[in-house]
Chain A
Amino acid sequence: MTTDVKEPSPPVKPEPERQKLGEVVVRFAGDSGDGMQLTGGQFTATSAILGNDLATLPDFPAEIRAPAGTLPGVSAFQVRIADYDIHTPGDAPDVLIAMNPAALKQSLGDLKPNGIVIVNTDEFNANNLKKAGYETNPLEDGTVDGYRLFSAAISTMTRRTLEDSPLDFKSRDRCKNFFALGMIYWMFSRPLDMSIDWLEKKFSRRPEVAQANVKALRAGFNFCDITDQFQVRYEVEPARLTPGTYRNVMGNSAMAIGLVAASRRSGLPLFLGSYPITPASDILHELARYKNFGVTTFQAEDEIAAVCAAIGASFGGALAVTTTSGPGVALKSEAIGLAVMTELPLIIINVQRGGPSTGLPTKTEQSDLLQAMFGRNGESPIPVLAAQSPPDCFDIALEATRIATRYMVPVMVLSDGYIANGSEPWLLPNVEELPDLRLDFHTQAEGFAPYSRDPETLARPWAVPGTPGLEHRLGGLEKQDGSGNVSYDPHNHERMTELRAEKVERIARTIPDLEIDGAPTGDLLILGWGSTYGAIAAAVNTGREAGLNVSRAHLRYLNPFPKNLGEVLAGFKRVLIPEMNCGQLALLIRARYLVDAISFTKVQGKPFFRREILDKAREILEAEADVN
């Protein structure tokens, strides 16, 4: 096809100034049809390959297709790139790309003072202003005072660039996100070739689409090169990452790959029973593609059938998993109790979201910890693990498999919307380094008792149908210790209740001690779990640089707790527990260790900012100093 991509015009302005930045936070915001997730993803991919450390945070609209131009229709993607080891996608953006008035309205308040706003002026017409709830044009009425505004007629320029494209009008307009991406690439001194490669691969069957987008990308880049508006180009140097091979990974994807890895390392075929639910469905989607790994995915008629099918598959000798979010866990509770009673291995993955009830399906929260711990009838303790970052989902899937199969127990894994959809560079492991999870089913018919126990783990034997001589019956009724026959004996019930609890407690013997980052004793320990990891680590690093006496520790094991947790807590005058709920871990810590922990909570459907945790830590330390 055509190769008449216009050569960049000779610069009509002096060489732009070059400024080095240690880090930058960019937010792409636009209508859900504007392709902002994709644009942000491209900027991320290119920056990753340039060696920056990074973290991303998508913000999807709750509706599938909210009316175009409205606030509920805004889709945003935030990425932070840095020349050092970072843990979060950043508190406030330095740069905002607003493709329409609604996007500006939604995000402007988050922007840093004096931050850069790039707007697509074409969309700032009366109709769109009204839809966004602006009485007057914010570009003219002082709304953007205090920010550095860059106006560009992105739609018009894209159209003009693609005047002779064979694409129809609508498809040409859709290339405007790549025009915007080209501008950002110019601004942050990024090469275009990674995105061009990607487009050519992605649209290999529709080269005209690839070509139009490439043209728009170049045009955006060249526009910045020639217009006087843009005088500064920024550079973010590569971070010093641990040597090795990396890819950028989202939590749900890492979880899916982790489950496949667990299947391979254990030699058990993977069976996923699942029912579509936000924000967990992507695990189902991804595993459904891995059939050549022997993966069976069963999309059930409801949440209950999903977990029940998994329990059936586990009885049959599969590595059985069900994936869901909080409301789904509520529906599955009775069946999880059955897995507790029948002592079958099962992995329940809860990608938490805002609750209660339907709550905030697309927003993040950590409010299902107590549900995971106690949300079943009867005394039915189960191990609970929590992933702390997108790549950690991979490791946690393997660890959950180890515990479930070694201890014959259902394991709850907590993730959340933030790490499920957020991404970070993942230092890729080599397969041989992964834990060996191989196991043997019970086959010895002589003396077989379905509820006999391994003296170390207290696990009962896993005897799968098809094995001659091991015919036995499982069920939800209380079991006689040893034989597994139905038993209503009061003392047997008490003994079995204790055994089931003791089995979970013994897992603590095989989990690592809780590590402390910082001094092992001191004024303040910040204790976290799950996805607050990044914000806490960032706050503690910054705090320490500023001379604060603060340490931190992060729990991946919520049940049982690491053996040394009590000791760790005892080493500090104050313990601060930040959580995206109303203090659920704090409740457990207080009850278990009688420690007067300070609960610091946030339930806005958004992750913590580093600043919030740092300010709180400072406040506690100052109060502590006043007392002394």
Chain B
Amino acid sequence: MSTELPVLTKKDFQSDQEVRWCPGCGDYAVLSAVQTVLPKLDLPKEKFVVVSGIGCSSRFPYYMDTYGFHTIHGRAPAIATGIKTARPDLEVWIATGDGDAMSIGGNHLIHTLRRNVGVKILMFNNRIYGLTKGQYSPTSELGKRTKSTPAGSVDYPFNPLALALGAGATFVARSVDIFQPHLRAMLQRAADHKGSAFIEIYQNCNIFNDKAFAYMTEKDSRAEQTVYLEQGQPLVFGKEKDKGIRLVEGRLERIELGREFGPEDCLVWDEAFEDPSMAFRLAYMLPPEFPTPIGVLRAVDMPAYDARSVGQIEAAIDKDGQGELQQLIHSGELWTVKEDGSISRGDG
């Protein structure tokens, strides 16, 4: 059987709807990256479904010329789970934000990851509520002053990567809206992953939380403030590749390379390690002490929920045969009343 797929381009994934994010919003960059990567996946366009919740980023499906579902606040993972479980042949992508995914929809997020449903979750983290005009979010830093917290927030933020790891996510990565080549590479990796893929995307909200990630996105600080995770490579960073991360007595430590230490002293990154504890340590590499890790924290192969669910149905049909409705209705203790009023046990 030859299935010649038409060659798709970015344009094929752009809908006719006017994009209405604020000028300068980081969401544009993510949209562009997704529209660039999806055509390259060699899949028919009609197989894609983009699902979102509520928030600025959740407008995403309207701008994609795929099947799409702009659902209700926080529920995108639950609706996507239904789509993927009922239709494992579809490619289901979720666009969500820090408020949508980690506050009102926290329960669905962790359970979708726990089950390893084969969906891709793009969590746009701008550390603020944009659509409702600037309240602090569950990823806002402690002490955040916003309209709803004029004296500063008093609650500790979530660490999204640690939360995803804690929920048992089989693919966990981080990228940044303006790191386009990297972001595209992460999207490609997510597309290739079989179970749940979770990508935290640092996204600048230039209206309500501008420069939230400037410490690491500015050109001159970028190399010093980030460390790229590459499979099998030592954790080395800095413009001059003169800094590294080593593991000493179970703790991560930042080291200067050159005299005392070399790259061989640095932790060699293994994303496929089944025990997530090292990935946890990376998730807790926080500024200013540590550079921010960018890349894949965890990628392990485990059967997806949808595949297992379908597998059970197939196994049942193999074992018992296709169910017979007549037989199902006529099962149990039966009795038959004849025309003459006499009664016998069983079916007629």
Spell out A's residues near B (CB within 8 Å): 45, 48-51, 194, 198, 238, 240-249, 257, 260-261, 264, 269, 271, 273, 290-296, 298, 300-302, 304-305, 308-318, 320, 334-335, 337-338, 342, 428-431, 464-477, 485-486
Contact = CB atoms under 8 A, between A and B. Distances in A.
Interface string B131-144: 00000000000000
Query: In the complex, which range does the number of interface residues on chain B fall in?
Result: 35 or more
A45 B322 CA distance: 29
Given A301-B111, A466-B90, A471 B325 contact: no
A468 B45 CA distance: 8
Interface of B: 15, 17, 44-49, 51, 54, 61-62, 64-72, 75, 78-87, 89-90, 107-108, 110-111, 309, 312-313, 315-317, 319-323, 325-326, 328-339, 341, 343, 345, 347-348
14 contacts: A291-B313, A293-B328, A298-B82, A298-B309, A301-B78, A312-B82, A315-B82, A316-B90, A320-B82, A335-B75, A471-B45, A471-B65, A473-B69, A476-B70
A473 B15 contact: yes
Given A316-B86, A431-B326, A477-B70, A311 B79 contact: yes
B71 A476 contact: yes
Given A49-B345, A471-B45, A264 B325 contact: yes
Nearest to B322: A292
Nearest to A306: B78
Nearest to B76: A308
B79 A468 contact: no
Contacts of B107: 301-302, 305
B312 A291 contact: yes
A273 B81 CA distance: 10
B71 A471 contact: no
A308 B75 contact: yes
Contacts of B86: 269, 271, 296, 312-313, 316-318, 320
Nearest to B82: A312
A261 B329 contact: yes
B82 A475 contact: no
B106 to A, nearest CB: 10
B334 A246 contact: yes
A245 B328 contact: no
A305 B75 contact: yes
A195 to B, nearest CB: 11
A312 B119 CA distance: 13
B337 A243 contact: yes
Nearest to A429: B329
B90 A465 contact: yes
Contacts of A310: 82
A48 B335 CA distance: 8
Given A260-B325, A269-B86, A308-B75, A245 B320 contact: no
A155 B108 CA distance: 52
B242 to A, nearest CB: 47
A475 B69 contact: yes
Contacts of B62: 473, 475, 486
Q: Which of B17, B61, B329 gathers the greatest number of chain A CB atoms within 10 Å?
A: B329
Given A301-B107, A430-B326, A475-B71, 10 more contacts: A50-B343, A51-B337, A264-B325, A294-B313, A298-B85, A301-B111, A305-B81, A308-B108, A315-B49, A472-B67
Nearest to B348: A245
A312 B90 contact: no
A348 to B, nearest CB: 14
B70 A431 contact: no
Contacts of A260: 323, 325, 328
A485 B79 CA distance: 20
B79 to A, nearest CB: 4
A477 B87 CA distance: 25
